[in-house]
């Protein structure tokens, strides 16, 4: 797609607030290129080290670029966001940030990996001496303004989208969001070069990039919650050599997810002699949590799929 509009990365904000003035107004059917800042808010760079995690200002994290006002958008309408293309930067970071992540109580020390990858060919990115992670750029945070006044945290996902971290919102997917305020006020950020379903350590390959989107309206067709369509298969890029799978079994899905991830970390550290922190971060960028069974009460099964091609 060709685009006549660009929203630059300096036009970003922290949190959702329907009082934020729009930085651009477009009509339905138009395309926009949105420049993003990485999820650290520019605090981490390709030269960052693990020591920089301690000095992160969390009031600056997860910025989103926007908002964009869509002419004619009204509460009750649906915004269709076609995620046309991604132009990655070629670098990113993954970190274990103490106090954050699915196993925060088990991983108390900071850890970091700085990634360098081919922004044009998008060949698998290297993780030390033992990993090659296939890349699939996507936007972790896409949303419109909520009707509730004031500033709301960017961290949790919402009915109107936001920090959903759905790795299948890649090029060609169409995200459909319910509109709650006039103009919709779309913002986008938190772009990732790769992520596993669940983003278990709390970070993916956090990588700034430019995103080109097409914005359309469906009058009076707001879904109850976000939904999306994909242009084709969503797992094939990781399927070639199969998976190692660990499970968690019990009456609580969160506990099951934690047990499944912990089991995979134990397997990777024993088999490949990597540190638990490296195994945790690697799981976050390429392995997938799935609910395998939720009907045979009182116990449910959560499975964790690690693609074998990453380490073979």
Q: DSSP per residue over 147-198, as a string?
A: SS-S-B-SSS-BTTEEE---TT--TT-EEEEE--STTEEEEEEEEES---TT
Nearest to 191 by CA among 172, 210, 215: 210
pLDDT for the residue numbered 76: 98
pLDDT for the residue numbered 236: 81
Pull the structure tokens for residue 98: 């103490």
Q: Is the pLDDT of residue 2 over 70?
A: no
Mean pLDDT of 267-292: 97
Q: Is the pLDDT of residue 249 over 90?
A: yes
Rounded distance, CA 7 to CA 213, Å? 11
Q: Is the pLDDT of residue 89 over 50?
A: yes
Average pLDDT taken over every residue of the chain: 97
Rounded distance, CA 85 to CA 275, Å? 36
Rounded distance, CA 26 to CA 5, Å? 9
Inter-residue contact 45 to 96 (CB < 8 Å):
no
Inter-residue contact 179 to 69 (CB < 8 Å):
no
Q: Set out the domains of the chain in order of their start, with CATH numbers.
A: 5-229 (2.60.120.580), 236-310 (3.10.28.20)
Q: Is the pLDDT of residue 85 over 70?
A: yes
Looking up tokens 């922190």 gives 277
Nearest to 166 by CA among 200, 213, 123, 199: 199
Condensed to tens digits (0 to 9), the pLDDT of residues 25-77 reads 999 999 999 999 999 999 999 999 999 999 999 999 999 999 999 999 999 99
Condensed to tens digits (0 to 9), the pLDDT of residues 97-122 reads 999 999 999 999 999 999 999 999 99
Condensed to tens digits (0 to 9), the pLDDT of residues 210-231 reads 999 999 999 999 999 999 999 9
pLDDT for the residue numbered 1: 43
**Could you tell me where the beta strands, DSSP code E, fall in the chain?**
5-7, 12-13, 24-26, 31-35, 64-70, 78-88, 91-96, 111-116, 125-127, 131-133, 138-143, 161-163, 174-178, 184-192, 209-218, 227-229, 243-250, 288-293, 300-307
CA 229 centroid distance within chain: 16
Inter-residue contact 173 to 31 (CB < 8 Å):
no
Please state, in angstroms and as integers, the Cα–Cα distance from residue 230 to each residue in 58, 80, 174, 235, 265, following that order: 33, 13, 7, 11, 31
Q: Is the pLDDT of residue 235 over 90?
A: no
| DSSP annotation of 219 | T
- What band does 139 get if pLDDT is binned at 50, 70 and 90? very high
pLDDT for the residue numbered 135: 97
Inter-residue contact 215 to 79 (CB < 8 Å):
yes
Q: Is the pLDDT of residue 242 over 90?
A: yes
pLDDT for the residue numbered 18: 98
Burial (0-12, 13-18, 19+ Cβ within 10 Å), 98: middle
pLDDT for the residue numbered 3: 56
Rounded distance, CA 293 to CA 301, Å? 5
User: Whole-prediction pTM value?
Assistant: 0.96
């Amino acid at each position: 797609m060709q685009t006549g509009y660009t929203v630059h990365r300096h036009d970003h904000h922290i949190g959702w607030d329907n009082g934020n003035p729009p930085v651009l107004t477009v009509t339905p059917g138009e395309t926009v290129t949105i420049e993003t800042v990485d999820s650290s808010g520019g605090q981490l760079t390709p030269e960052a080290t693990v020591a920089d995690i301690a000095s992160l200002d969390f009031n600056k994290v997860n910025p989103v670029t926007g908002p964009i006002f869509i002419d004619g958008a009204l509460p009750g309408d649906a915004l269709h966001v076609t995620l046309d293309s991604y132009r990655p930067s070629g670098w990113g970071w993954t970190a274990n940030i103490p106090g954050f992540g699915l196993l925060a109580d088990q991983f108390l020390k900071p850890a970091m990996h700085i990634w360098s990858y081919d922004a044009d060919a998008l060949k698998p990115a290297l993780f030390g001496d033992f990993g090659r992670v296939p890349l699939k750029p996507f936007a972790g945070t896409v949303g419109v303004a909520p009707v509730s006044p004031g500033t709301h945290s960017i961290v949790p996902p919402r009915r109107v989208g936001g920090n959903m971290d759905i790795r299948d919102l890649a090029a060609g997917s169409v995200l459909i969001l319910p509109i709650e305020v006039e103009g919709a006020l779309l913002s986008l950020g938190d772009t990732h070069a790769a992520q596993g379903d669940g983003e278990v350590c709390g970070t993916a390959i956090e990588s700034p990039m430019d995103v080109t989107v097409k914005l359309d309206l469906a009058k009076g067709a707001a879904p109850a919650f976000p939904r999306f369509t994909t242009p084709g298969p969503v797992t094939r890029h990781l399927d070639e050599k199969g998976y190692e799978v660990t499970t968690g079994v019990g009456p609580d899905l969160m506990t099951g997810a934690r047990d499944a991830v912990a089991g995979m970390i134990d397997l990777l550290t024993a088999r490949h002699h990597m540190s638990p922190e490296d195994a945790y971060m690697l799981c976050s960028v390429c392995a997938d949590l799935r609910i395998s069974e939720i009907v045979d009460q009182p116990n449910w099964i959560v499975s964790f799929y690690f693609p074998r091609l990453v380490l073979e």
